[in-house]
């Protein structure tokens, strides 16, 4: 069986997927900058370039860093999105989307849906479910995730934030 990252990239035909590193994360600053209103709402301050790598590569305390995928996605060599994926988080059998950010000028063109479909395809057979959380005031994101088949997980409210937990059951 192909590893998760290879399967994700193969499912996302037409795009180039690369791991974000100290060397290339600045290439994706435009994706963050085009979503400056989101950044200010979440962090309460303007975006700084060094925040990009930290946001995409967030790793919970005592979590295996090898199970965190900090990814940049390009189409025709143009950065279009960043995504953070965590394997077996918050528990075994769960894939967690920490962040999906599509360039603001390219939203509503189906890129986000293509990325989510690739995540679902790469996760099926490896995980039982995919989880994420959404800021309740971010109604556009909430609607987007519901359109992708995610539902609010009434059982799993996050204690440390007011975010709405959402889940997509695989293999159902």
Q: Checking DSSP bridges between strand 16-19 and strand 151-152, what pairing results, if any?
A: unpaired
Half-sphere exposure of 30 (CA within 13 A, CB side): 11
Please give the torsion angle defined by the CA atoms of residues 37, 41, 42 and 43, in that order, rounded to the nearest 10 degrees.
90
Percent of the chain with pLDDT over 70: 89
Report which of residues 128 and 23 the model is more confident about: 128
C-alpha 66: how far from chain center = 16
Domain residue extents for the chain: 4-125
| Candidate CATH numbers 3.10.20.30, 3.40.630.30, 3.90.1010.10, 3.40.50.300; the one for domain 4-125 | 3.40.630.30
Is residue 146's pLDDT more than 90? yes
pLDDT of residue 1: 57
* Predicted confidence (pLDDT) per residue in 56-106, tens digit: 677 778 888 888 888 999 999 999 999 999 999 888 999 999 989 999 888
């Amino acid at each position: 069986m192909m590893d998760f990252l290879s399967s994700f990239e193969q499912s996302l035909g037409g795009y180039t997927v690369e791991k974000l590193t100290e060397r290339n994360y600045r290439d994706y600053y435009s994706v963050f900058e085009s979503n400056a209103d989101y950044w200010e709402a979440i962090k309460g301050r303007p975006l700084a370039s060094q925040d990009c790598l930290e946001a995409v590569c967030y790793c919970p305390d005592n979590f295996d860093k090898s199970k965190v995928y900090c990814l940049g996605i390009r189409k025709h060599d143009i950065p279009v999105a960043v995504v953070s994926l965590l394997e077996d988080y918050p528990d075994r059998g769960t894939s967690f989307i920490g962040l999906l950010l599509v360039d603001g000028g390219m939203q509503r063109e189906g890129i986000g849906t293509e990325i989510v479909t690739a995540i679902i395809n790469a996760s099926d057979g490896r995980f039982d479910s995919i989880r994420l959380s959404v800021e309740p005031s971010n109604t556009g994101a909430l609607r987007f995730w519901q359109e992708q088949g995610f539902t609010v997980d009434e059982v799993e409210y996050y204690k440390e934030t007011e975010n709405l937990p959402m889940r997509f059951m695989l293999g159902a």
